[in-house]
Chain A
């Protein structure tokens, strides 16, 4: 890039976003949505000297965004000045609980190594703060950010995508490349027939509250057994979490608030005859959860959908003049044990950005020239993880009653039996506990079949 363009870029970055500048053909690439995927793409392209316009509908990046959540940071750490990132706590414990109506059976991990940098690249964050910071990192590399602007459609020339329509007074903005990073509610990609609308079996509704403890100092540290900036990630499944629905509950510790929520498939939410809000209330009053959230006050109530169709739902990722990244491309791993989308959003934005910069250097915009983006994703953890777990969702769906109702109950009663205090010898309790679990899974044959069905979880 010539020095003049650098100067021009600086002034452009400071323009009043509410005036009516003519952005047409000023930019090499337009990114739709300043979420994690969009900012990663913008940052990557700006870093390679492309003129990038990042368009966000919210009043600031993150203003419309909601997640659980733990941010997974292996790629972000490399792309940014990560020391300055607004992080809440690092994850020092991960806990998985099965809840029946009254019981909890939990497994907890607190590896010593997670206390030291880079903390397994897992941090709780609040998206309002984090997304704003991340977009700022892209702006520092030269990206132009406009907010309060919604992209309403794509501009085509023949089959090629050559720009976007917006709800701004000047409307159309043309550029050789468009990156669709609009998240799971991808109205633009769907409107342009770049993907189909997900069915409700493949989308979860999530409701979440950020809670604070106004009357209790150190409530978070005490209840979650934490010191300083260590944090906890608690996942819950079973009928005590979300009834007989496919999904679960979560609690994450922030610096001085906690995030509590439930997420379950829309298909089940409508069948349950209980509003998502009521499901959240029930989860919070479960005997295992209530002591963690008592005396808390709601600071924020939020809701959002999670695309969870897995590898099979990923659309064509590149088109002539465009690439789809992040949740818009369905890149979320949600299988009960893992809930990861942040790392996939950032990685896909980064890979798409790199590819576009290379294509721009070669002077090409056709889908063929962008093919190295899907290839890079295929070879990365993103598609490998999605493909690895696709089978799990299908199997788990078939075993749903067993996994979410029968087993949590059986484990709880086996545990009670195993530790039962009476005047029978331990051997009697052990045998009875074993029988309870075996009965639940259909005897030895059932257990062997179950182990075989889920062998890939451990192999």
Chain B
């Protein structure tokens, strides 16, 4: 008998495949931004990047994160995570953005 714990293989799909399961209606421009770029440039924690479950916030070269808003699941975590209150968070216009079928 094997001495390894009996863990059946679980295939976790990639984030890309996961994001592909939700519909996204692009409202045209980003509903996310930073208030003051300089604050991000000096911010050392990048908590917005760490908390985001959809890899929307990404480390930028100049210390200011880049934002791939089309992946946003509208969970609002980044808004609460930033201790500098530097996240601009609006709802995508006219009902755009993510649509969950199941929720």
Contact = CB atoms under 8 A, between A and B. Distances in A.
Contact of B50 (A62, A197, A203, A275): A275
Interface string B58-99: 000000000000000111110111010100011101110111
Interface stretch (A287-295, A311-319, A331-339, A350-358): A287-295
B51 A276 contact: yes
B46 to A, nearest CB: 9
B81 A266 contact: yes
Interface in A62-119: 62-67, 102
Contacts, number: 159
Nearest to B50: A270
Contacts of B15: 277
A10 B101 CA distance: 29
A187 B89 contact: yes
Contacts of B93: 150, 167
B10 A293 contact: yes
B52 interface: yes
B9 to A, nearest CB: 7
A134 to B, nearest CB: 12
Given A59-B95, A205-B51, A270-B50, A127 B100 contact: yes
Contact of B18 (A66, A205, A284, A301): A301
A129 B103 CA distance: 9
B90 to A, nearest CB: 7
B2 interface: no
B45 A302 contact: no
Contact of A207 (B53, B81, B90): B53
A64 to B, nearest CB: 6
B102 A300 contact: yes
Nearest to B15: A277
Contacts of A299: 21, 102
B7 A285 contact: yes
A37 B70 CA distance: 29
Contacts of A203: 77, 80
Contacts of B74: 64, 185, 304
Given A184-B76, A207-B53, A269-B50, A147 B103 contact: no
Interface size class of B (residues with CB under 8 A): 35 or more
B34 interface: no
Given A205-B51, A269-B51, A305-B76, A128 B13 contact: no
A303 B81 contact: no
A58 B95 contact: yes
Contacts of A293: 10
B53 A187 contact: no
A62 B103 contact: yes
A399 interface: no
Contacts of B102: 126-129, 210, 257, 299-300, 302
A276 B53 contact: yes
A379 interface: no
Given A276-B51, A285-B12, A302 B22 contact: yes
Nearest to B19: A301
B99 A200 contact: no
A302 B7 contact: no
Indicate the member of B10, B45, B50, B89 with the most A CB atoms within 10 Å. B10
12 contacts: A66-B103, A127-B103, A148-B94, A184-B76, A185-B74, A275-B55, A280-B12, A294-B8, A300-B21, A300-B102, A305-B75, A305-B80
Interface of A: 57-59, 62-67, 102, 126-129, 131, 147-150, 167, 184-185, 187, 197-200, 203, 205-207, 209-210, 257, 266, 269-270, 272-273, 275-277, 280-281, 284-285, 287, 290-291, 293-294, 296-305
The 5 lowest CB-CB distance pairs between A and B, nearest first, are A148-B95, A127-B103, A301-B18, A303-B75, A185-B76
